[in-house]
Structure 1
Amino acid sequence: MTGGGRILLLLGLLLAMPAAALAQQGRAAATRGPAPADAPLITDLSAHLIAITSSFTGTDLLLFGAIDEPGDIVVVVRGPTSAAVVRRKEPIAGLWLTRRSASFDGVPGFYVVTSSRPLAEIAPSTLLSRLQIGIDSLRFRFTGSGIIEDLPDFRDALIRQKRREGLYQQSVGDVDFLGPKLFRTAISFPATAPVGTYQAEVYLIRDERIIAAQSTPLFIDKQGFEQEVYEFSRAEPAVYGLIAVLVAMLSGWLAAVVFRKN
């Protein structure tokens, strides 16, 4: 498809999609209904549901939109939050054993931010910190006891692990403009992306001020047999655990029989 054809197709999608324009500064809740004709920012996703099946190996979603005023675009996709524990192992008598740990709450299971330019050139650090835009601006709540002087090191270790798993991503210049008003960017979700409700936030920023913002929901859910197993494990954890142990014992016994015959 030619560049002109892509622009026409994207424009048609933008005209047909339901959207909500948020004029207030800061993070906004998603709303439904047609956007006003003079909305400075209109966005949507190529899909609002990612179905996880046994063959799921990850996927990419397209976030696209249009602006009616000049400015920079910042896209933030946040996954469901949960608690996390970071453990530090130290060598003791030739063995690596856990000696210290730190517990955090409010940790996003998935976090992606991409922008048309470097964040430091788009907005002041106070604004980025307040809205938690950028991995360095993420705030986790320490839930452990006592005072840990090197707590930032535990936080950094947690972020490094999330990045290795592909769950935390930050990039610059991946917001592509198709002309002066239309833009798009691809969001990659690894196979390990957690199930739950996500928010795709888009900010239009000019002169270090948020001109417009929009938040769109996204859902990742298990489908088919995986969903049934997941729901059963939540409803009957004791029975599920017993079955898992029995299956593991049966697998070990079968393996022993096979190797004995060989």
Structure 2
Amino acid sequence: MVSLVHRLFSVSGIDFLKVLATVGFSSLFVLSAKETKAIEADLSSHLVAITAGFSGDRILLFGSINSPGEVIVVVRGPDTDFKVQRKGQVAGIWMNTASMSFESVPSFYSIASTGPIEEISSSATRALNAIGFNNIGLELPVTKAAGKLADSWKEALLRNLLRSGNYQLENAEIVFLGEHLFRTEFELPANVPTGTYSVSVYHLRDGQIIDARTTPLTVSKIGVEAEIYDYAHLHGAMYGIIAIVIALVSGWIGHLIFRKG
């Protein structure tokens, strides 16, 4: 078993002993099937730190199941509001002609699975647990839009989110090492939203969930970037004045340099 577990982590270059020290070997793999739960899972790290050189990250999830079945993992970012603009030609000029606001939409959404989710889970299971793009709350109230108009706004929002990389159309692969151990990885783009994410792991059999685990993942700015971000939001007016002063001084210095040249 130890050799299998070592393979589970070494693929991604993660220090095997360090991970075991963090999560505890006994919490992952219990020898007696009667004493363990149907599924156990954890992350290689529960914090993604965004610094000046941040260009994206990769999160490893690892776990085990104590009986045959399928596995689905859903990573969901904090809910936020989105506004979609529609452009049109007015007097030969392209400009925004309409807009639609969506409330409480996941800012990030990605899935990993052992097979196509439509084949390994029932439609009722997906709807109840918000699995899949059609079940994550993108519907508009009929007072805003209905029918084909609502569908067109929803499709526009999905296109924008997919283009940003914060929604991932292709399901990530879940790899089994042996009969019980599994691992998968998620890509976080450079523009990943900050906040607390939920990582939900489902163990399914015959299309139904028999056990589930949810663990938090924090994406946060740290260092000077975090201090500037916090100051800009807490003292917006002063931040704007400082930014204007810096721009003016930089322009004046540049003017002096080029004039001497």
Q: Say yes or no: TM over 0.5.
A: yes
Quote the offset at 1:154 in angstroms. 1.3
Counterpart of 1:159?
A: 158
Separation in structure 2 between the aligned mates of residue 136 and residue 255 of structure 1, nearest angstrom: 53
* Counterparts in 2 of 1:140 and 1:44: CA distance versus 1, 3 Å: same
Where in structure 2 are the equivalents of 1:110-259 lying within 5 Å? 110-140=108-138, 142=140, 146-147=144-145, 150-172=149-171, 174-257=173-256
Question: Residues 175-194 of structure 1, C-alpha deviation per residue, up to 9 Å, x if partnerless?
Answer: 00011100000011111111
Q: Could you say what secondary structure the match of 2:161 adopts? A: helix
* Counterparts in 2 of 1:194 and 1:173: CA distance versus 1, 3 Å: closer
1:74 and 1:114 in contact (8 A); partners too: yes
Quote the offset at 1:234 in angstroms. 2.0
1:80 and 1:110 in contact (8 A); partners too: yes
Moved more, 170-179 or 113-122: 170-179
* Counterparts in 2 of 1:5 and 1:49: CA distance versus 1, 3 Å: closer
Separation in structure 2 between the aligned mates of residue 69 and residue 3 of structure 1, nearest angstrom: 17
Separation in structure 2 between the aligned mates of residue 17 and residue 217 of structure 1, nearest angstrom: 20
Q: Normalising by structure 2, what TM-score? A: 0.84
Separation in structure 2 between the aligned mates of residue 168 and residue 99 of structure 1, nearest angstrom: 26
Quote the offset at 1:142 in angstroms. 3.8
Separation in structure 2 between the aligned mates of residue 142 and residue 241 of structure 1, nearest angstrom: 35
2:162 and 2:169 in contact (8 A); partners too: no
Letter paired with 2:219? I
Letter paired with 2:182? F
Q: Could you say what secondary structure the match of 1:51 adopts? A: strand
Q: Which runs of 4+ in 1 moved over 6 A?
A: 8-12
The sequence identity of aligned pairs, in percent, is: 38
Separation in structure 2 between the aligned mates of residue 144 and residue 259 of structure 1, nearest angstrom: 60
Structure 1 position 6 matched with structure 2 position 7: yes
Q: Could you say what secondary structure the match of 1:230 adopts? A: helix
Counterpart of 1:38?
A: 36
Structure 1 position 16 matched with structure 2 position 25: yes
Separation in structure 2 between the aligned mates of residue 17 and residue 193 of structure 1, nearest angstrom: 33
Q: Normalising by structure 1, what TM-score? A: 0.84
Structure 1 position 63 matched with structure 2 position 61: yes
Letter paired with 1:183? F
Quote the offset at 1:52 in angstroms. 0.7
Counterpart of 2:88?
A: 90
* Counterparts in 2 of 1:185 and 1:147: CA distance versus 1, 3 Å: closer
Question: Residues 223-250 of structure 1, C-alpha deviation per residue, up to 9 Å, x if partnerless?
Answer: 1111111121122111112222333334
Q: Could you say what secondary structure the match of 2:124 adopts? A: helix
Quote the offset at 1:76 in angstroms. 0.3
* Counterparts in 2 of 1:53 and 1:155: CA distance versus 1, 3 Å: same
* Counterparts in 2 of 1:211 and 1:146: CA distance versus 1, 3 Å: closer
Quote the offset at 1:5 in angstroms. 4.2
2:5 and 2:181 in contact (8 A); partners too: no
Question: Residues 201-239 of structure 1, C-alpha deviation per residue, up to 9 Å, x if partnerless?
Answer: 000111011011000001011111111111211221111
Give the count of matched residue pairs.
245
Separation in structure 1 between the aligned mates of residue 238 and residue 26 of structure 2, nearest angstrom: 45
Letter paired with 1:156? E
2:50 and 2:219 in contact (8 A); partners too: yes
Unaligned runs of 5+ in 2: 11-15, 29-33
Separation in structure 1 between the aligned mates of residue 211 and residue 144 of structure 2, nearest angstrom: 42
